[in-house]
Structure 1
């Protein structure tokens, strides 16, 4: 008898129609060619949400999707993709939000590969899922609550084993910069909170009591041990320690392998726990390597650190658990936890405002945790720190003074920032989250507010860090291997969130070793340059940029954490510091039983990227306002001026600058388009490339719309 078990995939997609209260399931099988996660979610959106749909209309959908490796025992397989239409960039195109935490594993263990929210409820509801029992319940008693209070209330009602993914007041009030929070502080941005709020859904509450069928559990266990023993580094796969240590041949002060003897989890239960000097090969000390609280917030964060924490299936633990009573007294929350841009907002503001407060001082720790816990409670999103830069600019350059009504200006004395009073940010963020004032437009995104407030030149100033005229900021852009980072920052409809390249850049290994690895992976040592010492575009850099994109998309589809994957390098000297780029394929085979190669998976990533590219072509508007635009090069992939114009006393391709050159970047775009099989001049999918990817249905759709070159 044939084995009909679904290995890896749960096998079902859950659909909840809020307009009709219909709850249905469908098989996952038709979507498997797009793997899961981002691929599955993008396919549902492409097939079912017409171009030009208002993101806040009932016709839009919100797709929570996980992948075949989620909750399977594979390390760092705890991510979730949440896909919908953008609320904050031009043309409101297809975007993906990604979050860690526990929600993805709970969805999978409940028996689903995706949850699709459709339509809109008439009054506030939450979706309660306990395995195959799914209910739409009244949420009036939690509507209006912050994300933490709502999470606690719903867990007390439905069970503490459940994971809650909820919106806060920002999402309820349809603020474009709003997010979904799960497991206290794990956020999915890109305006998904507003989309969820438009559907009157306060939360999804998931308790999964099942398991994931794994084809070869012993192989998964053996591969996991091998990966933790020989291959993985720290957060961002940094593979050398931050300080000189007895075991290490190299060290690098920028490394996120920040553990060292004498550095403690200062507020650990009982007594401080020394992070020590965890060495490669020690499976049980991997979780001590990343002391992210101190790395992000400075040395004063040590005494407030309870522990480093992580998402489901994560051995690295880049998430900071802190307790700071002073933060609670100032209007934030006494317990804090987050990672990345939401964890150190004051640094971004202070870079523009230039207060007397040191970014790594104890005062800055207080500022960061006051702001960070406030935005999380409100379910407000910072757009990879763009909100903080925009607020600081509008204060310093007098934009708020120029555009705000007098009654709003009277509420905010910006001198309080310089007087070291972080309570002003609590007041400001709460006002923004209400979405009923002029100042709230700062959280509609710079594409909107710079037009409204006549400040479009902000896009072309380096302090803005805006990288594309359609409204998103850098995410490891031209400072990361020049043209390579610039290219992948153009490809999506929001900041790219790609870490494949920056992980390699910041791993801590000497440039000579990086170049040797580059020759093996991307075809030549000239694929990479030393920082701030770029060379003109070449084919190996195009390989590197293509690989950076497809590995990120692959990870968001499997779902794996691209903040540490892929395993390009290793901390193990006996391996010559080489990683293992076949690990995704090895794990995929062990979990699903399907015999795929790394190249097969990379091609799947390229196919998924091409699907989103096709959705973008279909959804962009021409200058005359008509729908559909094939000229991606000149309409979509439009880098702002400052990467080309800053450092006026330096020329591109000279040491000491991240400046790039316009004609060279146009060459780079064409070379990258060629790698995907897209049209060389326009950068859009062609009929032949869609045939090659097996996307006949997408080809026929674009043909019917006259959107193939």
Structure 2
């Protein structure tokens, strides 16, 4: 009804067709079974983009989606899902990019739960969105610009209140490894930049001055205070400090709660700020806990740190704001910032090249910031550092010497790397982003270049970190609780981006205490093993794996930051370090007014995961090239051989190795399939489970295609 107020959801989806110029809106209500964010976007893609669609064709779509908690006042509800078809993996199956920054909040405050971009323009354009006023505008004057340059130009032209989500030259040139950048360095990868480029859409410029209707604002405020005072930790929800501090019972050198007395934001405005020893319960010092610049780049980064920054509604601030004039002089950008693999790319290169350059030195920080700011300006994506590993391997193994044309070989002297000359990376990365050379195939992903350059054995070597033969790398894989990490790295069509398990692994609490929590949450202390000392698969581990997948998908749909959520543990001794896994449901009810349990939300997460698997079944090819394949076990969930074959002096299930056992991994797949209700032989959705999730339409579709087991 027109007079019925929508709580949480904006209630509208914006649809822009760049071929026809049509701009329309439609209600969100039909998609609420899938919550929002990832779920909503995946449902639109399932319903509207046929199997086998070319990701760079006008028939493909790109969906920017947020959730009912976005911009509602809930802490850490600032993520955005960007959903489309993969440009870099086998069969170009459905993928999600997820980014922080400010774009999600702006979309929501402009009045939309999602923006669907379809068709393709015949000239460069951008979308200018100011609440209900939506225009397709000419972008020829910013086409060719880097992401920062384009952002500055579009903000000057439209509004400094707007958030710009833009592609760079890599996306314009349809490079498979390309991304969308918003708020300077917040990136959404998975090749979505190339999809935008194929549509000749440079950017979304979004200004929203609306608000989100909240059913119980006082409950949101009270829950927020409770969470910040008693439950939340630091980045990755690490809940003990990195160093011994007078308030803390435990400390752990691996923790991302890295604040300590004497550690400063070295060049903060107005003078250095000592982060001190922020204690649990202090609401106003939560943002000092995470000194991620030093954690990532070493002590040398302290004097270059302006502050730690964050996404919309983030109290943690895991994003490093740096200023390094020398980086700008050498071809990068003097101001740098990121929070993940793009922040320390040289680490991954140097792990293979083994130069004499130390990563935590002045040289190391120059390498990292020059590479990081260059790829962000180009809108170039690293595929969770796979680009750097592949690049280093192709130098070390002589692949470039073997495959590059003579004129390209003459462009690059790889000795400059060993001579500590990081400017070579500016030249290499700009050449790759042009997408008009042989070396550019490196940024098509290893599924393409390894075949083209006759180097497919790279997939079977541990230094590659490739975890699946379809072309994506580890993302907290077998080194994170063995079979648990191995299985959830198979589930998506790119690296999984799941942090629920690794947050628990690295939280800093003693192992015996973590076992107690594991028994309470996943049904057995044997859900977890000590690092490098794995035991065979069991039911508790299957519960843990299912939960890790479901909570990640749930967060990407609500939308919440899975780098800090879920709140499995707490830094508060008085709580015996227990977190509160009902917080998502409590916030959901406070924002939307709808009664929901944690189990209800977990079922929704399982439903959304099942939807993506159904879309994968529909689009995956068989050996004969025909489209439609429900044998996910044998044709999709194939972990690479190195996880079974490395460490030849160790047997699986012995202390000191992350090696796993082939038969046990198959057992793990079977058990996790069963937790979702999928076919335990094939790993695909069944008619029964689709009915149980309320997905009758998907069941009927797969049935008509002969893709139900």
Matches within 5 A, 1:313-324: 313-324=313-324
What is the alpha-carbon distance in structure 2 between the residues aligned to residue 683 and residue 256 of structure 1? 36
Structure 2 equivalent of residue 111 of structure 1? 111
Partner of 1:220: 220
Q: Give 2:698's aligned residue.
A: 698
Q: Matched residue of 2:83: which SS?
A: strand
> 2:630, 2:81 → 1: CA distance?
27
1:547-603: CA deviations, max 9, x gaps? 000000000000000011000000000000000000000000000000000000000
Shift of 1:2: 10
State the 4+ residue runs in structure 1 displaced beyond 2 angstroms: none
Distance 1:548 1:27 in 2: 31
1:5-404 residue pairs with structure 2 within 5 A? 5-404=5-404
Aligned to 2:607: 607
The C-alpha deviation readout for 1:314-334, integer Å capped at 9, x for no partner, is 000000000000000110000
Offset, 1:4: 1.1
Q: Secondary structure at the match of 1:363?
A: helix
Farther-moved stretch of structure 1 (359-368 vs 230-239): 359-368
Question: Aligned to 2:255, what secondary structure does the other structure show?
Answer: coil
**d(CA) in 2 for partners of 1:361, 1:705:** 58
Q: CA deviation at 1:359?
A: 1.8
Q: Residue 511 of structure 2 aligns with which residue? A: 511
1:481 aligned partner: 481
How many Å apart are 1:130 and its aligned residue? 0.2
Rounded to whole Å, the distance in 2 between the matches of 1:110 and 1:159 is: 14
SS at match of 2:64: strand
Whole-angstrom CA distance in 1 between matches of 2:516 and 2:227: 22
Give 1:445-456 correspondences, 5 Å limit.
445-456=445-456
Partner-residue secondary structure (3-state), 2:337: strand
Q: Secondary structure at the match of 1:338?
A: coil
Task: Find the aligned partners of 1:640 and 1:126 in 2 and give their Cα distance.
Answer: 41
Matched, 1:661 2:661: yes
* Distance in 1 of aligned mates of 2:15 and 2:631: 35
Residue 412 of structure 1 is matched in structure 2 by: 412
1:278 and 1:654 map into 2 onto residues whose CA distance is: 40
CA distance in 1 between counterparts of 2:336 and 2:502 reads 27
Q: Paired residue for 1:598?
A: 598
Pair 135,3 (structure 1): closer, same or farther in 2 beyond 3 Å: closer
Partner SS, residue 129 of structure 1:
strand
Distance 2:200 2:146 in 1: 15
Question: 2:168 & 2:60 partners in 1: Cα distance?
Answer: 20
Q: CA deviation at 1:270?
A: 1.5
Question: Aligned partners of 2:564 and 2:58: how far apart in 1?
Answer: 36
CA distance, structure 2, for counterparts of residue 583 and residue 343 of structure 1: 31
Secondary structure of the corresponding residue to residue 135 of structure 1: strand
SS of the residue 1:4 aligns to: coil
Deviation at 1:361, TM superposition (A): 1.4
Counterpart for residue 687 of structure 1: 687
1:426 and 2:437 matched: no
Give the drift of 1:362: 1.6
Name the CA distance, whole Å, in 1 between partners of 2:335 and 2:326: 10
Q: Which residue of 2 aligns with 1:632?
A: 632
1:3: how far off?
A: 6.8
Instruction: Say whether residues 1:561 and 2:561 are aligned partners.
Output: yes
Q: Which runs of 5+ in 2 are unaligned?
A: none
Structure-2 separation of matches of 1:216 and 1:251: 38
Q: How many residues align?
A: 709
Distance in structure 2 (CA, Å) of the matches to 1:88 and 1:696? 31
Distance 2:513 2:447 in 1: 41
Give the distance between the partners of 2:590 and 2:545, measured in 1 at CA.
Answer: 29
Report the Cα offset of residue 216 of structure 1: 0.1
SS of alignment partner, residue 161 of structure 1: coil
What stretches of structure 1 of length at least 5 have no aligned partner?
A: none
After TM superposition, give the deviation of residue 703 of structure 1 in Å: 0.5
Helix, strand or coil at the partner of 1:32: helix
CA distance in 2, matches of 1:337, 1:358: 20
For residues 564 and 46 of structure 1, what CA distance do their matches in structure 2 show? 29
**Distance in 2 separating the partners of 1:23 and 1:72:** 26
Root-mean-square deviation over aligned CA pairs: 0.7
Report the 3-state secondary structure (helix = DSSP H, G, I; strand = E; otherwise coil) of the residue aligned with 2:332: coil
How far did 1:360 drift?
Answer: 1.4
Q: How far apart are 1:259 and its partner, in Å?
A: 0.2
Distance in 2 between residues matched to 1:2 and 1:635, nearest whole Å: 48
Counterpart position of 1:573: 573
Query: Secondary structure of the residue that 1:358 maps to in structure 2?
Result: coil
> Deviation digits for residues 344-367 of structure 1, max 9, x if unmatched?
000000000000011211210110
TM-score, L = length of structure 1: 1.00
CA distance in 2, matches of 1:363, 1:262: 24
Q: Deviations over 1:465-502 (max 9, x none)?
A: 00000000000000000000001000000000000000
Secondary structure at 2:640's aligned position in 1?
Answer: coil
Distance (whole Å) between structure 2 residues aligned to residue 2 and residue 512 of structure 1: 55
Distance 2:399 2:214 in 1: 57
Once residues 454 and 163 of structure 1 are traced to their aligned partners in structure 2, the CA distance between those partners, rounded to angstroms, is: 43
Alpha-carbon separation, structure 1, partners of 2:364 and 2:253? 21
Instruction: Tell me the CA shift for residue 161 of structure 1.
Output: 0.2
